[in-house]
Structure 1
């Protein structure tokens, strides 16, 4: 590694063009400045052409000066990254389950439009992938449906999300027979969600597996498409329904006492959130509270 003091002397000399003025600015002797330059020339070859009233950099000197400038810029980037004091610039990374992610992503994009210095990086993932991504520092913020039991993670409630029975807009559902007539649109968590909700709304029912299945999708953004087309009903989290583009084509059936899941915000416990992440998080909390 090149001695930083030697480089400081060389850069200042390149700027001022005088050994005397360089020594004065750096509070060194002229002999010390000359010695620093000799050390560098011993390592990189001739750097300066000394003239009576000025100095001129050789090609090697120009290359070393460029290197010094690049190092200064790298140092500035490192300081900015370590201080992380700017809440208006840089990357904000969030990894979430599908339902709440569908709802939050447009909010994040709108916030980015108003704050062009920010870069939003979002990914959909199940709980175990969210936890691992945050632990590995691939994402700063995560949302999970089960509070993780890991001392490396800080977890706090973010929002409660209800399960909803969603049917085509023209359908009326009052009895189990209505569900049998309409048919079920399944998804990876569909039967588990439906069983939880139907136990409250239709006590003593024969079980969701007894219902005719009219379709299946593993893409949370597409589950309501067949419902909107009148092909069946489904049970999903409320934010997937709120994010659906054709809200007029579906409706929610009142099922009495709600079945609710708490979504937990997680991040690394050993260090504080970056100012930009804290700012975005506060904005998200305000938006979902509306």
Structure 2
């Protein structure tokens, strides 16, 4: 395999850019003899690269090909250092995994950030809390949001915001007591029974239990969980962000019954290394817009 010394390539780029051995040596802080030695080493491997005309030089076709290669290699190394050091806040991947409800709210905001900085790439995934923790620990996502505070020293968790649970029913439904909910029936989702138990336990403290409710449907697609509710097929319990993102607000309504139930949102990332600047920028962008 042909291996080219990066010092030789740096000298070649300077010589091609300045057209003079003297000025190339001054730029790099070396002697003209060193520049000449580097050029001889390259030409021993690749053939004639330069045409010398007095103190000026001109590239051969092979020299132009080498210049393209050397500049591309230099740019690739510069990007690698930026990604490793995280010193660029407007370029590279921002990876975030969140529960579906808050994800519906923040994903469009992240796309707004990418529209301002096209060299950013937003990678977002919806997932329940357990999968969020596992994905951040495994390094598949740099950032995660969860409604549970993890007890793992490998993770840093900081407060990010909050989400209220809501009892959501068809717009024309009357809900005054537990029997009204039982007549409607429950529209379940992956975290539905856990959410309903927490909210309904305070709203209807003497109820016979969520397990006693007839289940009228199930969906694991956060954008579709309110579709059967809007069609009058039952009620559900979801976070406010998911309800606010639903397309047909006129077909549903929130029943306020009992004290509010608020989930704290925690921003998670690995403790062993700092966040990249682009991730910090994305977090600040979201917090500013979410208040």
- Per the normalisation by structure 2, the TM-score is 0.87
CA distance in 1, matches of 2:111, 2:16: 46
Pair 1:109-2:111 in alignment:
yes
**Is this contact kept in 2: 1:169–1:249, CA < 8 A?**
yes
2:34 alignment counterpart: 32
CA deviations 1:157-177 (Å, max 9, x no partner) are: 222222221111111211111
CA deviations 1:89-122 (Å, max 9, x no partner) are: 4332211011111122223233434554543221
CA deviations 1:144-192 (Å, max 9, x no partner) are: 1222222222101222222221111111211111112222212222222
Pair 1:283-2:285 in alignment:
yes
Structure 2 vs 1, CA of residues 202 and 2 (structure 1 numbering), >3 Å: closer, same or farther?
A: same
1:38-53 matches, cutoff 5 A: 38-52=40-54
**Is this contact kept in 2: 1:197–1:255, CA < 8 A?**
no
Larger mean Cα displacement after TM superposition, 205-214 or 109-118: 109-118
Among 11, 14, 33, the alignment partner of 2:13 is 11
Structure 2 vs 1, CA of residues 20 and 106 (structure 1 numbering), >3 Å: closer, same or farther?
A: closer
Structure 2 vs 1, CA of residues 112 and 177 (structure 1 numbering), >3 Å: closer, same or farther?
A: same
CA distance in 2, matches of 1:11, 1:109: 38
2:95 alignment counterpart: 93
- Aligned length in residues: 289
Larger mean Cα displacement after TM superposition, 260-269 or 29-38: 29-38
2:178 alignment counterpart: 176
Structure 1 runs of 4+ with >6 Å offset:
none
CA distance in 1, matches of 2:217, 2:140: 35
1:138 alignment counterpart: 140
Among 209, 212, 223, the alignment partner of 1:210 is 212
Among 70, 73, 88, the alignment partner of 2:72 is 70
Structure 2 vs 1, CA of residues 13 and 161 (structure 1 numbering), >3 Å: closer, same or farther?
A: closer
Q: How much is the aligned-residue C-alpha RMSD, in angstroms?
A: 2.5
Among 191, 194, 199, the alignment partner of 1:192 is 194
Structure 2 vs 1, CA of residues 186 and 53 (structure 1 numbering), >3 Å: closer, same or farther?
A: closer
1:219 alignment counterpart: 221
Structure 2 vs 1, CA of residues 42 and 191 (structure 1 numbering), >3 Å: closer, same or farther?
A: same
Structure 2 vs 1, CA of residues 189 and 27 (structure 1 numbering), >3 Å: closer, same or farther?
A: closer
CA deviations 1:181-237 (Å, max 9, x no partner) are: 222212222222222222222222222222222222121211111111111111122
CA distance in 1, matches of 2:23, 2:110: 53
Larger mean Cα displacement after TM superposition, 245-254 or 24-33: 24-33
User: Gapped runs of 5+ residues in structure 1?
Assistant: none
1:262 alignment counterpart: 264
- Per the normalisation by structure 1, the TM-score is 0.87
SS of the equivalent of 2:217 reads strand
User: Gapped runs of 5+ residues in structure 2?
Assistant: none
